[in-house]
Structure 1
Amino acid sequence: MKDKPLLVIINGLPGSGKTTLGKWLAVEARLPHFSRDGIYETLYDSLDCRMAGIPPQLGAASFAFLYSVAGNLLAAGQSLVVEGFFGKPELRTAEFLQLQQKHDFKPIQILCQADGQVLLERYLTRAGRADRHEGHQDLEWLEHNRERLLQGMLPPLTLDGPIVNLDTTDPGSIDYAAVLEVIREFQNDGTD
């Protein structure tokens, strides 16, 4: 019987290093990588939201598109990495479980976390950069989510499979090789 594909889910608050880790894993593990923010930005630009305004369902549509792409790859037996701020754990868990019912996969979660004050500083720095995509409306989000950001971490999604907690407060101290080894071991464990 063929092994189930692996779905690496990188989750965490904004500024916790999800995209950096996702891009690195894509290269090192040779897996496709899809970012919820990347999809959001693409839809924002394609729909000309700068001129037409942001449709109220754009955020939900970006998650739906992420799950659709992931589902197509999983249906073909392809393992992959998805990353995003899955900040509504009950809803996102239900969405991933629905995806798993359609396309059986082995989930592994990497939960990026950091000191809350560090996250706030990173967030503000990123919000002020000229290359930051305008669609994110970072300062508006922060008005309603400052305390959440200062908590430094999210609860994990309620899925089967291992959870790797990764403290990204000091990026230089992250043992990326250990994270990669956990993924490779889980990918090659032969369980169905």
Structure 2
Amino acid sequence: MSKPYLIVVTGRPGSGKTTFSKELGNEIFMPVISRDQIKEGYVHTLGKSHNELPEDANKIATEIFFDTLMGLITNNVSVIAEAAFQHRIWSTKLEQFMGKAQVFLLICKVDEKIALDRFVRRGLDNSLREYFHGDKGVDMARKGIELNVSSYEEPLIDVPIFNIDTLGEYDPSIKELSKKIFGD
């Protein structure tokens, strides 16, 4: 029996990873597990805004996210995992899937300033985003404070890596990626 696929979609905040992963999942018929959506479900359950959550809420959401992924992979369910994975923080969590799954890393990329603009715009356009995620940068932008681009350290694990330009049409396209991953 072949191993399930774990397709990791990542990139800095505002890089287009959530939109891309949803489109990818629809195109290749694979579920998408989003770390942010896990956190949103957690916030719903507690009935408190991000700023009122226990200090370890993000850690708890991350553990639930990885437990969910591991449950799927160990039960032979291929899955797309979407989050802003950063090497220093997430690499050991991703490495636990090596040998258990066919892991591919898809990194969504766009100019840093465009990513920052997207990040701020989505927060300003949807006030609930701040409730669920407490995006400090959005609050600063609302107050007219100029934001700097935050650092983002791409995960470096020994798996096939594809960089996806998300500025306009995806490059490479989802169909091209599908051929490279599945050999169709």
Whether the TM-score (by the shorter chain) exceeds 0.5 is yes
Task: Compute the displacement of 1:146 (Å).
Answer: 2.8
1:120 has 2:116 as partner: yes
* Structure 1 residue runs without a partner (length 5+): none
1:111 has 2:110 as partner: no
C-alpha distance 76-100 of structure 1, shift in aligned 2 (>3 A): same
Question: Cα RMSD (Å) of the superposition?
Answer: 2.4
- 1:179 corresponding residue in structure 2: 177
C-alpha distance 132-18 of structure 1, shift in aligned 2 (>3 A): farther
C-alpha distance 131-172 of structure 1, shift in aligned 2 (>3 A): farther
In the alignment, the residues of structure 2 paired with residue 40 and residue 51 of structure 1 have an alpha-carbon distance, to the nearest angstrom, of 9
Trace 1:2-13 onto structure 2 (pairs within 5 A): 2-13=1-12
Trace 1:40-79 onto structure 2 (pairs within 5 A): 40-50=39-49, 53-79=52-78
Task: Compute the displacement of 1:164 (Å).
Answer: 0.4
- 2:136 corresponding residue in structure 1: 139
**Which of these residues, 83, 87, 90, is aligned with residue 88 of structure 2?**
90
Aligned-partner SS, 2:96: helix
Amino acid of the residue matched to residue 22 of structure 1? S
Alpha-carbon contact 1:67-1:99 (below 8 Å) kept: no
In the alignment, the residues of structure 1 paired with residue 103 and residue 139 of structure 2 have an alpha-carbon distance, to the nearest angstrom, of 30
Identity value in percent: 23
Amino acid of the residue matched to residue 121 of structure 2? T
C-alpha distance 132-182 of structure 1, shift in aligned 2 (>3 A): farther
In the alignment, the residues of structure 1 paired with residue 92 and residue 133 of structure 2 have an alpha-carbon distance, to the nearest angstrom, of 25
TM-score, normalised on structure 1?
0.82
Q: Deviations over 1:134-154 (max 9, x none)?
A: 2212234786x83326xxxx4
Alpha-carbon contact 1:127-1:139 (below 8 Å) kept: no
Alpha-carbon contact 1:107-1:160 (below 8 Å) kept: no
TM-score, normalised on structure 2?
0.85
In the alignment, the residues of structure 1 paired with residue 139 and residue 163 of structure 2 have an alpha-carbon distance, to the nearest angstrom, of 24
Alpha-carbon contact 1:111-1:166 (below 8 Å) kept: yes
Task: Compute the displacement of 1:73 (Å).
Answer: 0.9
Equivalenced residue count is 176
In the alignment, the residues of structure 2 paired with residue 105 and residue 83 of structure 1 have an alpha-carbon distance, to the nearest angstrom, of 16
Aligned-partner SS, 1:171: coil
C-alpha distance 129-122 of structure 1, shift in aligned 2 (>3 A): same
Task: Compute the displacement of 1:52 (Å).
Answer: 8.8
